[in-house]
Chains A and B, each alone.
Chain A
Amino acid sequence: MSRAETLPIGMPSLSLFRSEVTTTFRRWRTLALLGVLAAVPVLVGIAVRIETSRGGGGGRGDGGGGGGPAFIGQVAGNGLFLVFASLAATLPFFLPMAIGVIAGDSVAGEASAGTLRYLLVAPAGRTRLLLAKFTTTVLFAFAATLVVAASALAVGALLFPVGEVTLISGTTVSFGEGLLRALAIAGVVALSLTGLAALGLFVSTLTNSGIAAMATTVGLLITVQILDQFPQLSAVQPYLFPHYWLGFADLLRDPVYWDQIARNLGLQALYVAVFGSAAWARFTSRDVTV
């Protein structure tokens, strides 16, 4: 109820967007998700630190390529790599799960709380409301990615030496350029989650149960991630939204290898277009009774 009361009357879309953002980011659920995401780099950093000191110096190298997330081998030598390692560790599941929760909840959550029809009474229109919901989810994707990156940078700088960065191609760049690349990577990671955000929004318009929408979105994510593993399905895999997610690592090559990043962003744009318009078609033509 209080949700509807906070809405100004006759608002332009910007204030609608602003009120969406404040309600989303003020929720305990959102803050808890961000907290969990911030804790991942801390855990990874401490684990690597313990492993390194036990192995006596920089002995992390051997066997490092055998398992664990990408870049974990370089963390002990340069704290900045904790950013890349943490993003690589959270991207397959933690980050998209958080997006799935926020996106799935966006419309269906309002419906199940009974606040959706109050939102629709305001003359902002359903299309605008949907846009505001989607933008908020995308904003959350950026916030979540930045939280992981910032936490990883802080932990990395605290526990490990920082300095010149050796890219995965073997060329060395200054720490400043390394930071810039880290920022670009965070941006690419956030953008690679937009396809899932649109998918979640569409699912969210299908049902009146917030829990069902979240579960469906996260379930779809897991299913698609599994499908992406089967070599027999290699023909369709380039069209699955998580297929190029780890391609963000290409920003760490020298020269940067753009092919996969471009393909990833194109694919995300396609998902946003298809599922965004599907969500629009569903939401603007459906009956809202609750």
Chain B
Amino acid sequence: MAGNQPTSEVQDFEGPARRRRKAVRYAVPVAVAGVAAATIGIGSALASTGDPDLPKISAQDLIAKMAQSDTQQMSGSVKINTDLGLPSLPSGLSFGDGGNKGEGKKGGSAPSPQSKLTELAAGSHTLRLAVDGPDKQRVSIVERAAEYSVVRNGDEVWAYDSSSNTVHHSKAPEAQRSHGKGAKDDVLPKDLGGASPQELAKKVLAAADETTAVTVDGTAKVAGRDAYQLLIKPKADDTTVGSIRIAVDAKNGVPLKFTLAAKGGGKAVVDAAFTKVDFGKPGAGTFDFTPPKGAKVTEGGAAGHDQKADRDHKADHKDGREGGLPGMLGMPGTDAAGAGKSKVLGKGWSSIAEFDAGKDAGSALNGKGAGKKSAGGKGGADAQALLDGFGTKVSGDFGSGRVYSTRIVNALMTDDGKVYIGAVTKDALVKAANAK
């Protein structure tokens, strides 16, 4: 080849043969790019087909299989996509989305697990889990060049935020499991652990009753494992939940994928799936944690302050407290209320939680004269403008109020401070308020 190289002498003679050779040469990079594009295209097409051939199974057997599943050890990666349709907040008032990591840590407070949890409420995240029995768990949120990990080893719970090099330490109360939401001051492992498909599926099954159609809908391959798909469809008309799909491992009954679709269609509201899973024993050092030198460590007692701040975030998904992942808000079966003065109207998927936020709160939020003033000066007006942007005004026999909506959960706050919240349509909320 070396001998045929064009040299400066032939510059004036660009014959057809040379031109052809030139064209052939330029075809090489084009072909390489084309092959690469084709490979990427075919690769993703192949990945979406090829459902495994599995023996038929009834919905009941499949649920039993899940219930019987005694898998105690596993590790893997979970990809969570959430699109709750939460209004996007101006920067500085963020729900804690990835871009504003510094937010809320400025005061030197510990990395708050709750604010991390709300991060999962929007966008796409990768979690890595490792579980070894009931006492040892670990969940990490994979971030760009950083990681947020919660490690539970026996009664020690550590939360480590590598981006700010801060550590939060607390003790896991022994009675935590049996107490349920009683252990409010230590929700770390439970809440983050609740994001695993396993926990999500359990909650849904508890809620299934005559209001729900549960069927087995084909098979799927999740994280390289064969799985059955359980399809859960609410029968009620006025709920915003379209369907829930759970892919269950055909061998050991572990849920591998959880998809919550809104009735309105579009992208799944919550889509949590294992991308890699391993049912072997996680490495011994996985659950050990020693705070690194120079890291700022806060003890569990300080959590109260964080919690208060985060309650504001959670205001519009109060009933998410039990649900772990914010996507579970308003899921029937999760005790919507928690607080003493609230009650649940309706049943199953259409249940609506009602509680009294107090007259002042109602008028302040909804912009009635006095409330606005008491909110104080410019700050109050700004907050008012913000709230106006989120809510839509509604009125009915109950008076008037504002509806705050996401893709799944809607909330109605009346001017006299009553709050109705549920995974139901706006009309159902108004109807419930009118019935009072």
Interfacial residues, chain A to chain B (CB-CB below 8 A): 58-67, 70-71, 73-74, 76-78, 88, 117, 120, 123-128, 161, 163, 166, 168-172, 246, 249-250, 253-255, 257, 259, 270, 273-275, 277-278, 280-282, 284-289
Contact A270 B164 (CB under 8 A): no
Question: Would B292 and A285 count as touching, CB distance under 8 A?
Answer: no
Answer yes or no: B144 CB below 8 A from chain A CBs.
yes
- Is the Cβ of A67 less than 8 Å from the Cβ of B292? no
Q: Is B296 an interface residue (CB 8 A)?
A: yes
A170 touches B32 (CB 8 A): no
B6 adjacent to chain A (CB < 8 Å)? yes
A62-B164, A63-B106 known; A274+B2 contact, CB < 8 A? no
B102 touches A275 (CB 8 A): no
Question: Are the C-beta atoms of B164 and A65 separated by less than 8 Å?
Answer: yes
Would you give the 0/1 interface string for B2-28, flagging 1 where the beta carbon is closer than 8 Å to chain A?
110111101100000010011001111
Q: Which residues of A contact B5 (CB under 8 A)?
A: 120, 125-126, 284
**Chain B, range 255-278, C-beta contacts under 8 Å to A:** 275
B290 touches A166 (CB 8 A): yes
Question: In the bound complex, what is the Cα–Cα distance between A281 and B33 (angstroms)?
Answer: 14
A166-B147 CB under 8 A given contacts A62-B106, A65-B105? no
**Min CB distance, B43 to chain A, in Å?**
11
In whole angstroms, how far apart are the Cα atoms of A112 and B3 in the complex?
Answer: 25
Partner of A166, one of B128, B164, B292: B292
A219 to chain B: closest CB distance in Å?
Answer: 21
Q: Known contacts being A246-B144, A257-B142, A273-B32, is A77 close to B293, with CB within 8 Å?
A: yes
Q: How far apart sit A66 and B101, CA to CA, in the bound complex (Å)?
A: 6
Partner of A274, one of B27, B36, B166: B36
B-side contacts of A250, CB under 8 Å: 142
B158 touches A170 (CB 8 A): yes
Cβ-defined contact, B294 with A60, below 8 A: yes
A65 pairs with B285, CB closer than 8 A: no
Q: Mark B266-304, 1 if CB is under 8 A from A, else 0.
A: 000000000100000001011011111111100000000
| Cβ B295 vs Cβ A58 within 8 A | yes
Known: A61-B296, A163-B293. A74 touches B162 (CB 8 A): yes
Q: Report B295 CB to chain A, min CB distance, Å.
A: 6
A120 CB to closest chain B CB (Å) equals 7
* Other-chain contact of B145, A58, A246, A259 (Cβ < 8 Å): A246
How far apart are B109's CB and chain A's nearest CB, in angstroms? 8
**Binary interface encoding of chain B residues 139-163 relative to chain A, with 1 for a CB under 8 A from any of its CBs, else 0:** 0101011110101000000101111
CB of B101 within 8 A of CB of A280, answer no
Q: Are B163 and A128 in contact (CB under 8 A)?
A: no
**Contact residues of B with A, CB < 8 Å?**
1-3, 5-8, 10-11, 18, 21-22, 25-29, 32-33, 36, 77, 101-102, 105-108, 128, 140, 142, 144-147, 149, 151, 158, 160-166, 275, 283, 285-286, 288-296
Give the residues in chain A near B163, CB-CB below 8 Å: 64-65, 70, 73
**A65 / chain B contacts, CB cutoff of 8 Å:** 101-102, 105, 146, 161, 163-166
Cβ–Cβ contact A274 & B293, under 8 A: no
The CA-CA distance from A274 to B28 in the complex, in Å, is: 8
Q: For the complex formed, measure the closest distance between the CB of B255 and the CB atoms of chain A, giving whole angstroms.
A: 22
Separation of A114 and B354 alpha carbons in the complex (Å): 83
Inter-chain contacts of B102 with A (CB < 8 A):
63, 65-67
Q: How far is the CA of A278 from the CA of B289 in the complex (A)?
A: 51
Most buried by A among B5, B165, B285: B165
Docked-complex contact B296 and A253, CB < 8 angstroms: no
Q: What is the minimal beta-carbon distance from A95 to any residue of chain B, in angstroms?
A: 15
Structural contact, A61 and B29, CB atoms closer than 8 A: no
Establish whether residues A77 and B294, one from each chain, have CB atoms under 8 Å apart when the complex forms.
Answer: yes
Q: Shortest Cβ distance from A58 into chain B, in angstroms?
A: 4
21 contacts between A and B (CB under 8 A): A58-B293, A62-B166, A63-B102, A73-B163, A76-B294, A77-B165, A88-B145, A123-B3, A126-B2, A127-B1, A128-B2, A169-B140, A170-B151, A170-B158, A172-B289, A250-B142, A255-B283, A278-B28, A287-B6, A288-B6, A288-B7
A62 with B32: CB separation less than 8 A: no
Assembly CA distance A124 to B2 (angstroms): 7
Contacts of B18 in A (CB 8 A): 285
